[in-house]
Amino acid sequence: MLSNGYGEPVTIDGQIIRTIHRPLSGSEVAGLLSDASNLRRTVAPVGGRTQLALGNAPEPIDEVIDLTNINRVLHFEPADLTLSVEAGARFGEIQAVLAERGQTLPIEIPHPEKSTIGGMIATALSGPRRLGSGTLRDLLIGISVAYPSGIVAKAGGMVVKNVTGFDLMRLHHGAIGTLGVIVSANFKTIPLHRAEATVFATFSTLAGAFDASDRVRAGRIRPIALEILRSDSNWRLAVRVAGRPSTVELLVEETKEAVGAGARTLASDESAAWWRDYVEAQSLALPDRVMFRCGVAPKETRRLTSASIELLSQRAQAPDAINISPGLGGVLFGLPAANLTDKSLAGLQAALLSVAAHVTVLCAPNSLKSCLDVWGRQPETLPVMQALKSEFDPNRTINPGRLVGRI
């Protein structure tokens, strides 16, 4: 099939790809990959097209495989808390199906109405709920992947404790489709929380916000999300708690005591809506934006944030968004792309790497990122990753150059 359901070619980092395949099954995907490999053509798998800015600019792409027609719920066993779904299924629709039975996949991402299950696994992005709920990697119990060899391989199954086969789930989580194309996945689900609330506190200094965050983390509150964000000239701490209604009431009171006077609270639906907006603002699909994600051990987050802000100031870069995850060791900076060149972006990444363990350019116009490796410091495991690429995709058919080290 060569029709494009969106009515226009696909653009990936400035490349316009006009050959669009829309297969209806995993075996068709494997066949398309095999044909492309034999013909030495390159392929990019796509789903909801919300995270195409992530990763290095790929080498020239000849074809796109659009997976959105492969979108069925294959199995859902509410009593067993297990779900099997095809890779092109929209995350928002899957969440609606689960919610009917009081269950969920506790992940929050921008554009859930567009984002697909396969894309979420491939990009490994997760929102602030990672603090209390983990990532999609922690929920995966089975996977099916199409390879350029023309086969569809499976690993895991439909039970939570499963040791069948090689651990393909973790291998493909975050690989951006460079090793194979995910065609279905199995998950363990969790019950929906009966209630939630978010406590906000505002501070005139970053140190004050971190002090309050430290008090929350040192107690027994155990929030499912904990974030510090810049709000005008102040800093806001957001603490999200969930559980039984009576438990949430107690946690809110303990949180207020920990963060100090003047705290305010959003309950239930208002709390959930605030976090949806917060996550949506971190979309990678926004034009003319550059977003950095810096990472360290959680105990080093305060130092990282202060040092990073100082480095940005020294280079006359004023971020329009700063989002800090103290319990995860992450800081996200958003900057207007108009204030950067390719050389200044590379220099800024190198400077941030002097104070952070990891620095990833999550998104940037192709004209800025084409001269750097957006993933930053190369891992010690790079030779292993290169060997895996050679084993699974010897002709470099899928997304060549997109992963760390231009794999």
Q: What is the pLDDT of residue 2?
A: 37
pLDDT averaged per 10 residues, the chain (length 407): 55 94 98 98 97 94 98 97 98 97 96 97 94 94 97 86 63 96 97 97 97 96 97 95 97 96 94 97 92 97 98 94 97 95 95 97 93 94 95 97 95
Distance CA 368, CA 376 (A): 14
Phi, psi angle pair for 166, to nearest 5°? -65, 150
Q: What is the pLDDT of residue 5?
A: 43
Q: How far is CA 142 from the centre of its chain?
A: 19
Q: What is the pLDDT of residue 287?
A: 83
Q: What is the pLDDT of residue 6?
A: 45
Report helix, strand or coil for 29: helix
- Residue that the structure tokens 């792309």 belong to: 337
Q: What is the pLDDT of residue 3?
A: 40
**What letter represents residue 141's amino acid?**
I
Q: What is the pLDDT of residue 168?
A: 79
Distance CA 23, CA 33 (A): 11
Phi, psi angle pair for 52, to nearest 5°? -70, -15
Q: How far is CA 252 from CA 54, 131, 157, 239, 263, in A?
A: 37, 18, 39, 9, 10
Q: Residue 332: beta bridge partners?
A: 293, 323
Q: Mind giving me the DSSP string for 66-78?
A: E-TT---EEEEEG
User: Please, are residues 181 and 153 in contact by the beta-carbon 8 Å criterion?
Assistant: no
Q: How far is CA 16 from the centre of its chain?
A: 24
pTM summary value: 0.93
Q: What is the pLDDT of residue 167?
A: 74
**What letter represents residue 244's amino acid?**
R
Q: What is the pLDDT of residue 1?
A: 35
